[in-house]
Amino acid sequence: MRFLTTLLFLTAMTVSAQDAPKQGGGRGGPPKNLKVLKAEDERAVMGAMRGALGQRCDFCHIQGDNASDENPKKLVARNMMVLVNDVNAKFPDGKAHVSCYTCHRGKTIPDMMPPPAAPPAQ
């Protein structure tokens, strides 16, 4: 988890203070349903994921219940956290190089190809 957290934290710092996620598992209490993250990292990572996909919290969460797994996007996101950890674990220097933003760049579905009209680099 170190990998993901470290890099996502850097991304999180680009989120302005007033956009910072509100505390807690929906009612300000400790998180109840974390399967990948550590509780102390939850806030920073949520802010970073929001920025990476260019979406609001309710893209992945059911309004008022952040612990619920009913929104299928949340399950995709959780799998992608594992994916990012796996990729980073394979870098020989042991550092985090890949984050959600590496692929997503502010979009929900990353681009597979460059835009067709892109001119060749000179």
The reply to whether 106 sits near ligand HEC by the rule CB under 6 A is no
Site string for ligand HEC, 25-44 (x = CB under 6 A): x-----xxxxxxx----x--
**94 Rama class: left (phi>0) / alpha (psi -120 to 50) / beta:** left
Q: What CA–CA distance (Å, rounded) separates 68 from 70?
A: 6
* Torsion sign over Cα 30, 35, 41, 43: negative
The reply to whether 110 sits near ligand HEC by the rule CB under 6 A is yes
The contacts of residue 11 (CB under 8 Å, 6+ apart) are 48, 51, 52, 99, 100, 101
The reply to whether 59 sits near ligand HEC by the rule CB under 6 A is yes
Q: What CA–CA distance (Å, rounded) separates 116 from 101?
A: 22
Judged by CB under 6 A, the residue of 2, 9, 55, 62 near ligand HEC is 55
The reply to whether 49 sits near ligand HEC by the rule CB under 6 A is yes
| Residue ranges in contact with ligand HEC by CB under 6 A | 21-22, 24-25, 31-37, 42, 46-47, 49-50, 53, 55, 57, 59-61, 66-67, 73-74, 76-78, 80-81, 84, 98, 100, 102-104, 108-110
